[in-house]
Amino acid sequence: MIQYILIIFILFIAFSCKQQSAQKENNNTSENVEKINPVKERFAKMEADALKEPYVGIFSKDSDSTDLFQVRSTGVSTLPILKAAERFLKSLSSSQLQRTTFDIGNEEWRKWCNVDNGIYDRQGVSIKELTRIQKKDAFRLIQESLSVKGLELSKDIMKTDQTLKELNNGSLDYDEELYFFTVMGTPSIIEPWGWQLDGHHLVINYFILGDQIVMSPVFMGGEPIITTSGKYKGNTLFQDEQNFGLALMQSLNQEQQKEATVTNVKTVNNNVAEANKDNLTLNYEGIRISKFSNEQRQKLLDLIYLYISNIREGHDKIKMEEIMAHIDNTWFSWVGGTSEDAVFYYRIHSPVVLIEFDHQRVVGVPRADDGKPSKNHIHTVVRTPNGNDYGKDLLRQHKENHHN
């Protein structure tokens, strides 16, 4: 009898434990469901859907020539960038190196997004996890790749993420060092390679083939644009890009302004060529630059150079020469008003460059979103249309010529 009682007791204990385990599992499942971030899921799906399509590039319906980009020598050495990249990679541990390096044709090129780290998972190694020496080598790579202006702008954008961290009670979604490096291909004088920096409001894709460079897509933005408190009080971004753009629009006569204006109502975010838009069909809009006076044309070129001058010295001139060759087939379009306090969007679009500037709704600054675009949140995008973002067209030609 005692044996039967013991068996029943053991079975009861086992059943109770199983019930508790199941309850705990159900609770954990419930917690996991609650922790799912629908915004993060949405961005992940957008990227997954975009990557299902092979890269084509940004084209208009009236396609431009397909031989816009040629593999050639520019005469401007890229050796300092190569050496900086080799030094940076050598400084990484084996596990860091494994996470950071990819084949030249890997879709990692297309895995970038300008949103904060709370809603987007990035590949590679972050500045935050690097040692002091590794950080120095990482910034040396940026320094050798960009101009002095481009390096300082990149650092200032990173500072705005620290400001957002302060304004959001130390949120882990923001940090001035949460910017991730990946390297595609092996740094080489002959073979194609490149690097990517991916983080909130700062994305740089940098392709190198010999002494040629394609620096696009590039996303640069910031919020707040003018920092009024905290560690980086006084930090200010994109005032020239904003003011030069407005000055150009104001320099147009009434008829030209009418032609340039897509709409004078600016109530939403207007950027169209941000993340996951590699295969965008985008037609020319606004006014053709061939209708500008010499003075207006120079204002446009000065505006374009604000974006191109982020590239290292020498290669900025190469890119401007390429842009000048198509200046009469360049278009300028505008959304918004033209008063001094107006918020607006503008686009500069040619066969070889696409530039966007946009005043956006406030997102990260607490209790500041009134549903309207603001001068305190700006997005800019630079693309190479007609199939050469990420240097894809140059890479295609190189493979056809040397890797049949």
Give the model confidence (pLDDT) of 9-42 as tens digits. 444 444 444 454 445 444 444 344 447 889 999 9
Q: How far apart are CA 204 and CA 198, in angstroms?
A: 7
Tokens of 62: 């009236």
pLDDT for position 26: 47
Give the model confidence (pLDDT) of 370-394 as tens digits. 999 999 999 999 999 999 999 999 9
Assess if residue 178 is contained within a domain.
yes
pLDDT for position 63: 67
- The label of the residue with tokens 């905290």 reads 230
Q: How far apart are CA 379 and CA 89, in angstroms?
A: 31
Give the model confidence (pLDDT) of 208-262 as tens digits. 999 999 999 999 999 999 999 999 999 999 999 999 999 999 999 999 999 999 9
Look at residue 7 and tell me whether its pLDDT is greater than 90. no
| Nearest by Cα to 198 from 216, 215, 180, 183 | 180
Q: How far apart are CA 178 and CA 142, in angstroms?
A: 15
Assess if residue 58 is contained within a domain.
no
Assess if residue 150 is contained within a domain.
yes
pLDDT for position 62: 76
Assess if residue 265 is contained within a domain.
yes
Q: How far apart are CA 72 and CA 267, in angstroms?
A: 45
SS3 380: strand
Give the model confidence (pLDDT) of 95-132 as tens digits. 999 999 999 999 999 999 999 999 999 999 999 999 99
pLDDT for position 13: 46
Assess if residue 116 is contained within a domain.
yes
Phi and psi at residue 212, to the nearest 5°:
-95, 145
Tokens of 323: 């842009």
Question: The pTM is what?
Answer: 0.91
pLDDT for position 21: 46
pLDDT for position 24: 45
Look at residue 5 and tell me whether its pLDDT is greater than 60. no
SS3 165: helix
Assess if residue 266 is contained within a domain.
yes
The number of distinct structural domains making up the chain is 1
Segment 350-367 mean pLDDT: 97
Q: How far apart are CA 350 and CA 332, in angstroms?
A: 9
Assess if residue 192 is contained within a domain.
yes
Q: Which domain holds residue 133?
A: 77-402
Look over the chain and give the mean of its residue pLDDT values, rounded to a whole number: 92
Assess if residue 3 is contained within a domain.
no
SS3 373: strand
Q: How far apart are CA 33 and CA 24, in angstroms?
A: 14
pLDDT for position 299: 98
